Amino acid sequence: MTLVVFQIAAVVAIAIVLLRWRKSAQRRNSQSWETLLSRLRPEWSARELSDHFLWQEGLSATPEDAWQRMEGPKGLWVMYQNARVMQEMAGYAANQCKDVDRLLIETLHSDAMQIRVCVLAALTQYAFRHASEGVRVNAFRAASIYTGMAARMTQLLQEHAAVMVPDFVAAM
C-alpha cells in the first residue's frame, strides 16, 4: 500500500514539474526583444571594468579592482540574472532569425552557463570566506566572460536587430 502511494506521489510530482517547465517554455517563446531588454537589470554595469565594454572582450581591471568596482556580491548577482536574460535573447534570435550564426548562439549559451557557475562559486565562497582571493578570482572570471558575452550579444543585435542596439547599450 505504501509503495502504491509513493508511486502515485512520484508521478504527480513529475507531472507538475513537466507542466511548469512547459508553461515556462511557452512564456519564453512568447517574449519579444523589447520584453527581454526590459528584463535586463541595469543596477550595476560592467562598463566600469572595461574601456570598451559591449564592443570588445577583455577587462582593464585587476581581480581586486574588479571586486571593488562590481560592488562585491551585488554585481555578481546582476551578472547572474543578466546572463540568463542574454541567454534567452540568444534563444529568441535562434528561433526568429533564419540566417543567424549558430556558432555565435552556442557560444552565448555556453557563456551564460559559465557565468552562472562562476557567480554561484564566488557567492558560495563569499558566504564562507568573504572577499578571499578565490572569491575575487571567480568574480573576475565571471566578469571577463560577461564582458565577452555582452560584446557577442551586441554583435548579434547589430546583425539581426540593429534598432535594438541603443536600447541594449542603455540597459547594460
Q: How confident is the model at residue 160 (pLDDT cuts 50, 70, 90)?
A: confident
Considering the domain architecture, whether residues 21 and 40 belong to the same structural domain is answered as no
pTM for the model stands at 0.76
Asked if residues 75 and 61 have their Cβ atoms less than 8 Å apart, the reply is no
What is the rounded CA–CA span in Å between residue 159 and residue 91? 15
pLDDT reported for residue 81: 93
Domain count, the chain: 2
What residues make up the domain containing 6?
A: 1-30
Considering the domain architecture, whether residues 123 and 166 belong to the same structural domain is answered as yes
Considering the domain architecture, whether residues 107 and 78 belong to the same structural domain is answered as yes
**Farthest CA pair distance, the chain:** 66
pLDDT reported for residue 55: 64
Q: Which residues of 67-81 are buried (b: 16+ CB within 10 A; e: fewer)?
A: bebbebbebbbbbbb
Q: In this structure, what C-alpha cell is assigned to residue 92?
A: 529568441
Q: Which residues contact 159 (CB under 8 A, 6 or more apart)?
A: 100, 101
Considering the domain architecture, whether residues 88 and 157 belong to the same structural domain is answered as yes
Give the pLDDT mean for 105-127.
Answer: 91
Q: What is the pLDDT of residues 53-112, one digit of tens each?
A: 666 666 667 778 888 888 888 889 999 999 999 888 888 888 877 788 888 889 999 999
Considering the domain architecture, whether residues 56 and 98 belong to the same structural domain is answered as yes
